[in-house]
A and B are shown apart, each in its own frame.
Chain A
């Protein structure tokens, strides 16, 4: 029996080891080495890259990335909750709506981000439509700012909020809300004091699934932010391209991973229940 279990676990375990643990180990080694003059790494081993992570300049970028990821996650919760509730209560049409939520995944994220650029540009669809309706004279500066970045992130990761929320809400007994109403709760009260607390696990799972990719996002901030801003994903990418500082790039990536892990761990400890 034991042997059989090992046999079945072997493929997954070896994939994880090869594609996750080994690259991570390489990153760890890189992060402790010296920067090669033109990229790459060389001996001697040093902790310099780790100290640089603590530089206020880079900490500021980490802070800003957390803020942007946090705002995006919050918006995803606010937008995702009603949608998930609606889908969970729409009976036989449930599957249709769910597949509509997942429909965007059929095209590449890059292409969809370019589509947003087309919509938001000065000569894009939104501005030309508003102008021809006579609502505005000068085009609105929709592209290349923080809100464009957040819009792109919310758009990209909203499905990751809706799906876990849906599965939590679907399992809730509708009778609970009726009971709350029978016991004299106003609709707003039963929403805030019954429905919301009961769907907390779904919100938490969705928030984690949205927050983490938003934190490391690189494509969206770059394309919709127009390079005016720098978030941690772009900072890491720069180290491996233009700046040719692999040790520092490895150190920031690992520091970011560690930070996220610690946050998740604290969450688990405090709540004492599984995360997802």
Chain B
């Protein structure tokens, strides 16, 4: 016989379950740091009643390792453009439904048919950036090429990024080859260049270089435009250069995970991010480069005119998008990278 107490207990349980189903419209979003504004998520939650569980990651590999299992619990992630192809091949992504993304037209024309996802079938470009040279104008005339980072001019006072794709990419550009050249000959040539450069370098640093170039320890460094902009905001005498030989471009794109059972909410969220005023609010806060052209007319001119974040079309034409590397080439490049570090 079920006692009264137990009945109440069971009633309570169903009540809780009922509530959780009705109220808990929840969306799980996994994104890079500094990629939404202070009010972006609260405003979305207030408008739609959807609760957003939001967490950040620091590298594509970190994100991929989490979602690779296929039951990570995330719905929307923001892989870089060169991770879209691999994630699609691993069958981790679900196609986007364009009928539910009414404002895709807000994207900049260069992101309407990008080379990594011709029809935006799997991904929605969100933020983008480049890697070039950040340089202290107090130490003389501005360098214009990667080759100048191979001279003794900044000896001991310059750094490169601590990343094989970036260092070998710059070396390949200096040699006049493609950023994504992946034959053994190309990669070995890039290693030789990098080995010649290593004695001139202070270190291989990623985000840590920002404070050091601001303080004046470092005179020139290879860095990302977003990091460069943060440094320039702190020290206006710094200047970001898009090297003449060409440079790397990347775009972080929103993508829907195949494991997600909240495709409706996810599309609602992506369409919200596509809105011109929302995208404008985000970049006004984050000072990064948005893929949303409609937003650019609404952000303060002080931001939209920043050449570091938004190069002119002539400069942009010199850039090359990162592409995924075939497994064999990836393996070789990692080995060569270890050789560089061991030298």
Interface residues of A (CB under 8 A from B): 35, 37-40, 57-58, 60-61, 64, 117, 121-123, 141, 143-144, 223, 225-230, 234-235, 238, 240-245
Q: Is the beta-carbon distance between B202 and A226 smaller than 8 angstroms?
A: yes
Q: In the complex, given contacts A226-B204, A230-B341, A244-B330, what are 20 additional A-B residue pairs having Cβ atoms less than 8 angstroms apart? A: A37-B327, A37-B330, A38-B86, A38-B87, A39-B68, A40-B65, A58-B338, A61-B342, A123-B217, A143-B203, A144-B203, A223-B208, A226-B159, A229-B341, A235-B338, A238-B334, A242-B61, A242-B164, A242-B334, A245-B334
Map CB proximity to A onto B248-291 as digits: 1 under 8 Å, 0 otherwise: 00000000000000000000000000000000000000000000
B interface residues, how many (CB within 8 angstroms):
36
Q: Is the beta-carbon distance between A227 and B156 smaller than 8 angstroms?
A: no
In the complex, residue of chain B having the shortest beta-carbon distance to the beta carbon of A52: B335
Q: Is the beta-carbon distance between A121 and B217 smaller than 8 angstroms?
A: yes
Q: Is the beta-carbon distance between B338 and A61 smaller than 8 angstroms?
A: yes
Map CB proximity to A onto B306-343 as digits: 1 under 8 Å, 0 otherwise: 00000000000000000000010011001101110110
User: Chain B contacts of A230 at CB under 8 A?
Assistant: 338, 341-342
Q: Is the beta-carbon distance between A121 and B68 smaller than 8 angstroms?
A: no
Q: Is the beta-carbon distance between B334 and A228 smaller than 8 angstroms?
A: no
23 of the cross-chain contacts (CB-CB < 8 Å) are: A37-B327, A37-B330, A38-B64, A38-B89, A40-B65, A57-B335, A58-B338, A61-B338, A122-B215, A123-B215, A141-B202, A226-B204, A227-B162, A227-B205, A228-B201, A230-B342, A234-B341, A238-B337, A240-B65, A242-B61, A242-B334, A243-B334, A243-B337
* B148 contacts A by Cβ under 8 Å: no
Task: Give the docked Cα–Cα distance between A117 and B212 (Å).
Answer: 10
* Nearest CB of chain B from residue A33's CB, rounded to whole Å: 14
In the complex, residue of chain B having the shortest beta-carbon distance to the beta carbon of A121: B217
Q: Is the beta-carbon distance between A226 and B334 smaller than 8 angstroms?
A: no
User: Chain B contacts of A238 at CB under 8 A?
Assistant: 334, 337-338
Q: Is the beta-carbon distance between B339 and A228 smaller than 8 angstroms?
A: no
In the complex, residue of chain A having the shortest beta-carbon distance to the beta carbon of B209: A226
Asked if A39 meets B216 with Cβ closer than 8 Å, knowing A228-B201, A245-B334, the reply is no
| 5 tightest A-B CB contacts, nearest first | A226-B203, A227-B204, A230-B341, A243-B334, A122-B217
Q: Is the beta-carbon distance between A121 and B62 smaller than 8 angstroms?
A: no
Asked if A226 meets B205 with Cβ closer than 8 Å, knowing A121-B215, A244-B330, the reply is yes
Q: Is the beta-carbon distance between A60 and B215 smaller than 8 angstroms?
A: no
User: Chain B contacts of A117 at CB under 8 A?
Assistant: 208
Task: Give the docked Cα–Cα distance between A243 and B212 (Å).
Answer: 27
